[in-house]
Structure 1
Amino acid sequence: MKQDDRRTAVNNFRRIHAGMEHSISRFFLRTDLTAAQGHLLLYILTRPHQRLCSTELHRGLGLSRAAVSELLKKLREKGFLTLRTAPEDERQKLIEPTDRALELKQTLDRLAARTEAQIFDGFSPQEIEALLCFQMRILQNLNKEEHLDGNRSQSNTTI
């Protein structure tokens, strides 16, 4: 792969991310959520029987601890989440969706399905499988770099 091709690929990742954020943000204007808040809320809502705390969200979504903390704060202020102290560890806060969040779940599911359909329109199952393999390799490469630097994920996110 030529250097120009690599730069084009990286630029395409940025453009894809920006396009997805823009598309999703337009929808969330009606729900009092940002795209990042909606993504986190949907992640929580799709795990109804799992005990969730900020560490699980940090690891599962690849967001920095600070970003997760800020997103949880905003979602709690907007009435989508409650935090309660874990009985076995007072330092740990368990995250629970409120009725307001549960009412929004079907809408979030529809948005996710619509976004996925738009993104993968015209892709064959084999192409999607190949894309997943490429993505995993890229993520593994990035993870190696993080370990070499001694840093954990410090992803930026819109809050």
Structure 2
Amino acid sequence: MMLDNFERLILKFLQQNGRASTQELSDAVGLSPSPCWRRMKKLEDEGYITRYAAIVDGKKLGLHALAYVHVSLMDHSETSIDLFHSFIETAEEVIECASITGEFDFVLKVAATDPEDLERFIMKRINRLGVVRTTTTNFILRQSKVAGALPVAL
């Protein structure tokens, strides 16, 4: 599906305000409510919009330790990779996971209450999977930008 400018504007606006009413969205992009709603529904049906979520302040929840954990698996067998992916899908502490090139296989963004909590997560959960060769952790000292929104060219 090729996106037109209205659809791109809808995507840009919804990334900033996912709770916008159809009227607010239609006013922002310059369409009447019915066509705007149909385009938004089409973007959902086509998979451009995968879900709606609230952005929560982790510090207010007591999550004061954020880190990037680089993970190298012992091997790249289907069993090892499936086990690791299953773990990642259920571990609430892992807020992002990406397979990467280079020295490590994956990089995880992990949220914990404090450094000790992060250590427990790595030592007692990740390392005990039985498929992890090594991990390296980089604490996030300060986040300069947390956008979440993807660039949408107009």
Q: Please, what TM-score do these two structures have when normalized by structure 1?
A: 0.31
- Report which of the two structures shows the higher radius of gyration computed on alpha carbons: 2
Which structure shows the bigger proportion of residues in helix conformation?
1
Q: If each structure's strand is expressed as a fraction of its own residues, which one has the higher value?
A: 2
Normalised by the length of structure 2, the TM-score is 0.31
